[in-house]
Amino acid sequence: MGADEPEFDRGVTLWEQAREYFGWYPTADVDALVVGGGVQGLLVLDELVDRGYAAALVSNTPLGAGQTFDWPGVLSKGYLNPDRARREAVDERWLPFAEDARVPVEGGEWHVASTDYPYRHLLDQWDEAGYEYDEREAADLHEIYREGTVFAKGSGEHVAAIDEYVIDREALVRALAADHEERIVVGDITDESFAPGGSSLPALDRLTVETHQDLTLQVEPDCVVAATGTGTHRFVDSLVGGESFREAGGDADAVRASLDPVTYRNQLVLAVRGPAEVLPAVGAYLPHKGMSVVPRRHRYREENYVTWYVTNDSAAEDVDPGDTTDEAMGTLDPEKVEVGYNKLFELVPAVKNRAAGEADLEFYAYATLQQRVEGEAVPHAEPLAGVENVGVALPSCAAGVWRATDDAAEFVADAVDPSGPVEEIPTGGDPPYGQLADDRPGARWLDWKALGVRYPRVQNRPDAVEK
């Protein structure tokens, strides 16, 4: 289902084996080190190299894992939370970048369907932020949505056709890494060393990386950008929790306080996939229901297949930062899965009816962690307080990676002057990519009958729908 995996293990030469044995570890002296191999980290690396910095990237997971892996690829302009900068990021940066890099992007048939509120409120915001939309009638909704309860118990029926896109995330990860493979190391940071900085604050002096090729690399960065997604709190804790930081006069609590605005929530995602003639690639935002349907086209079995990624805001719950994972895997609650699918079938009964009628539809539910900043989906990029040369660049939406990258490049510029791009990093090259498929290894897609067995309260009866 996914793209072919590239060759990774180039083998370890006798010289490298001897160097490991004697502890003659290679050292990479760089202007900036990016930690994190998702879209955010890769874009920061690309931007820093473009600006003339000797930059490298370290990731403890294959590229494109974590939040990037769970992201369906939607380039949302933010119609439900209008923001001029977000709209401009899609129009002026994402789309030209994708065209230049030959990364496939698909527009599609997208609708906002809502009752009077919040629709009227959204129109005012769209006009103010320069969003384009085309007001339609409820009858103009795609037929798959017409039979459901989209407007049940509402105060009016409003539909607007909007302009949204989905980008091929696999191709995007490969494009961002394509010119930087020799600057990318996949491995685990196992040790760090701090020294007194130019100010009264400690500065990160050296990091030790144990690569996934069983090699050791020491990196001496002038500046570090953590693009570590849902692993950010744990990464920062590992930096400032050691003896070296304390000996350099560091205050770990001050550094950790920098991340107080960054929170996480557990988000249930319901996936449905099938042939395009059964499950059309029609996106829908239902703000008064708190639901979104993001369609993504795929190629399966030599046919045109579509996957819907359905989210419901009411199913999200806050997660303690200490319980987050680097892979952004959340906790799946079977009861919420059952309630979620029943609500989906209430809103779009055509999906249920086609599945029960033996159409080729499959279902899969997973939970992912989403980063939030003070409760909102906004980017967060700034230096950490309490340490001289470490900052974070953490998007909360696809459009946010550009703003976070710009801000990260600015605080790197304040910390160090560019010394010229480094062509390669010892132990770098041929980085492995994430499982560039549509679900995690071991994921089990369920047909209609199996869905009812796995989740018994998902029924083909109206009285089984939990309100």
Domain ranges of the chain: 14-68+172-261+375-415, 74-167+263-373+437-464
Per-residue pLDDT tens digits for 405-421: 999 999 999 999 999 99
pLDDT at 325: 84
pLDDT at 155: 85
CB 435 within 8 A of CB 69: yes
Query: Please, what are the averages of pLDDT over each run of 10 residues along the chain (467 residues)?
Result: 41 60 78 97 97 97 89 91 92 95 89 94 95 93 90 88 92 93 95 88 94 90 96 94 93 94 94 93 93 85 83 91 88 94 94 92 93 87 95 91 96 96 89 69 86 86 45
Separation between Cα atoms, residue 312 and residue 296, nearest integer Å: 18
Separation between Cα atoms, residue 465 and residue 467, nearest integer Å: 6
CB 305 within 8 A of CB 273: yes
Separation between Cα atoms, residue 301 and residue 59, nearest integer Å: 33
Pairing of the two strands 55-59 and 27-35: parallel
CATH hierarchy code of domain 14-68+172-261+375-415:
3.50.50.60
pLDDT at 7: 39
Q: Which residue has the tokens 């770990």?
A: 252
Q: Give 198-248 as a DSSP string.
A: SSSSEEEEEEEEEETTS-EEEEEEEEEEE--GGGHHHHHHHHHTSHHHHHT
pLDDT at 243: 93
Smallest CA-to-CA distance from 328 within 428, 255, 396 is with 396
Q: Give 344-399 as a DSSP string.
A: HHHH-HHHHHHHHTT-S-EEEEEEEEEEEETTB---EEEEPTTSSSEEEEE-SSTT
**Is CATH 3.40.50.150 the classification given to domain 74-167+263-373+437-464?**
no
Give the count of beta carbons closer than 10 Å to the beta carbon of residue 170: 20
Q: Which residues on neighbouring strands pair with residue 28, listed in sequence order?
A: 219
pLDDT at 19: 60
pLDDT at 375: 83
Q: What is the pTM assigned to this prediction?
A: 0.91
Smallest CA-to-CA distance from 171 within 101, 103, 74, 269 is with 103
CB 283 within 8 A of CB 373: no
pLDDT at 21: 59
